[in-house]
């Protein structure tokens, strides 16, 4: 039995209001064809990410665009750009997985830009996540480049990803296509739900030699 768009929308709204982290009082949920669109304001970057995660957990959601903006409460004392930059630098230094000396940070009115290099794709994402968690951040632009420490050919990268997918019970490999060109992974095809989608993406994110991911995966309609 298929789920109507109104039922999906209601479930998303209920989920957002349930989550104490989000404060969904200023969040609007709508459809753009089959794509869910989140609009409005939330009180922190963490709330924006939580709202996106909550939406993906709702049955029937196959596509999502998160257009939420961060608007800190008037009672919140927003840190200066200098303080935000300092806090991000400290957080990166404390993370042993990332060489913070190779990352440059700039902040303008709460908008953060990350530049520099790391040796793995997941480290680029991890640096972004660390920056997002710092108080006062409104948005993060991630321009970090990936420079692997080993020269790994595309064929080996593809084999590693495919083997990882084969080991994962969430993913039906028959429905997922993996292509590699110069370290850039293209994932296409369909998966059954958000958990399977995330599992497939992780197979590419954490494989050595990957420098970028082109995401053409789709979640099958219920």
Averaged pLDDT in 10-residue chunks for the chain of 222 residues: 89 97 95 95 93 95 95 91 98 94 97 97 96 94 94 95 96 96 97 94 96 95 65
Asked if residue 210 belongs to a domain, the reply is yes
Asked if residue 110 belongs to a domain, the reply is yes
Q: CATH code at 180?
A: 3.30.1340.30
Asked if residue 42 belongs to a domain, the reply is yes
Chain centroid to CA 89: 21
Handedness of CA 18, 20, 22, 23 (dihedral sign): positive
Last residue of some domain: 70, 97, 120?
A: 70
Q: What angle do CA 178, 184, 185 make, to 5 degrees?
A: 20
Domain that holds residue 132: 81-146
Q: What is the pLDDT of residue 222?
A: 58
Asked if residue 168 belongs to a domain, the reply is yes
Number of independent structural domains in the chain: 3
Asked if residue 75 belongs to a domain, the reply is no
Last residue of some domain: 126, 146, 166?
A: 146
């Amino acid at each position: 039995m298929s789920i109507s768009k109104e039922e999906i929308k209601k479930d998303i709204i209920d989920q957002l209001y349930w989550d104490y982290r989000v404060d969904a009082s200023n969040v609007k949920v709508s459809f753009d064809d089959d794509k869910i669109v989140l609009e409005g304001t939330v009180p922190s970057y963490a709330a924006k990410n939580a709202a996106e995660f909550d939406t993906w957990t709702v049955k029937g959601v196959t596509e999502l665009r998160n257009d939420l903006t961060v608007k800190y409460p008037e009672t919140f004392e927003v840190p200066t750009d200098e303080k935000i930059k300092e806090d991000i630098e400290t957080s990166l230094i404390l993370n042993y997985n990332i060489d913070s000396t190779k990352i440059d940070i700039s902040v303008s009115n709460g908008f953060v830009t990350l530049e520099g290099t790391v040796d793995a794709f997941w480290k680029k994402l991890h640096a972004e996540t660390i920056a997002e968690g710092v108080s006062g951040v409104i948005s993060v632009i991630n321009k970090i480049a990936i420079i692997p420490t080993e020269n790994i050919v595309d064929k080996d990268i593809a084999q590693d990803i495919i083997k990882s997918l084969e080991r994962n019970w969430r993913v039906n490999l028959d429905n997922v296509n993996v292509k590699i060109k110069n370290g850039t992974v293209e994932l296409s095809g369909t998966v059954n739900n958000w958990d399977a989608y995330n599992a497939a993406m992780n197979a590419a994110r954490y494989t050595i030699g990957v420098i970028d991911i082109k995401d053409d995966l789709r979640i099958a309609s219920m």
